[in-house]
Amino acid sequence: MQQQTDFPLPLNLPAPVDDGAADHLKDMAMPQVSLRSTAGRMVDLSDLSAPRTVIYCYPMTGVPGKPLPEGWDMIPGARGCTPQTCSFRDHHQELLQLEAEVFGLSSQTTVCQCEMAERLHLPFEVLSDAEFRLCDALRLPTFEVGGMRLVKRLTLVVRGGRIEHVFYPVFPPNESANQVLRWLRDHPIRD
């Protein structure tokens, strides 16, 4: 079921380039790191129970009434967190049918994430890595803006406790869920 996704992206967004910062991730074991979710529970990322888990990482979602950091739209890969999240929301049932559980992840606090999850009516949990425990354990690519350290946009597909596939860079962000769906359909769990 398609929902409202009226969060248009500017036409001239700079595309991120593959700087190699995620090359080391494929086949890595998920570390024993537990992060708080928007459901109020701790999720141990080394003990995911679904056949596959999709963790899409994004820098930050905007907060209504609060300006984004200066120059945000000109940072390659920064803009588009809400459209990306909406794409995973809108395709959530298809992902579940392919035996993939979904989590969003950012370095924002759970309080900020809960506001966003409620506002966007998310059917999945978002994880807070405000202390960069997962980011540092996996050496995820990050960047700094406005005095904040933020994770770069990437998506991990986890299977059997290991990172099976990495989407990096992710662009355009509103197509992220479709890219993941295509990959999951091309790589069914049969082996």
Residue spans of the domains in the chain: they are 34-186
Name residues whose C-beta falls within 8 Å of residue 13's C-beta, 6 or more positions apart in sequence.
73, 79, 80, 172
Residue 155 Cα distances to 64, 87, 147, 181, angstroms: 25, 13, 24, 12
Looking at every residue in the chain, the average pLDDT score rounds to 93
Tokens standing for residue 155: 């998506």
Question: Within the chain, which residues score under 50 in pLDDT?
Answer: 1-5
Q: What is the CATH code for 34-186?
A: 3.40.30.10
Beta bridge partners of 151: 142
Q: How far apart are CA 138 and CA 183, in angstroms?
A: 22
pLDDT of residue 53: 98
Q: Are 95 and 51 in contact (CB under 8 A)?
A: no
CA quadruple 184, 5, 84, 160: dihedral positive or negative?
A: negative
Over residues 47-61, the pLDDT tens digits come to: 999 999 999 999 999
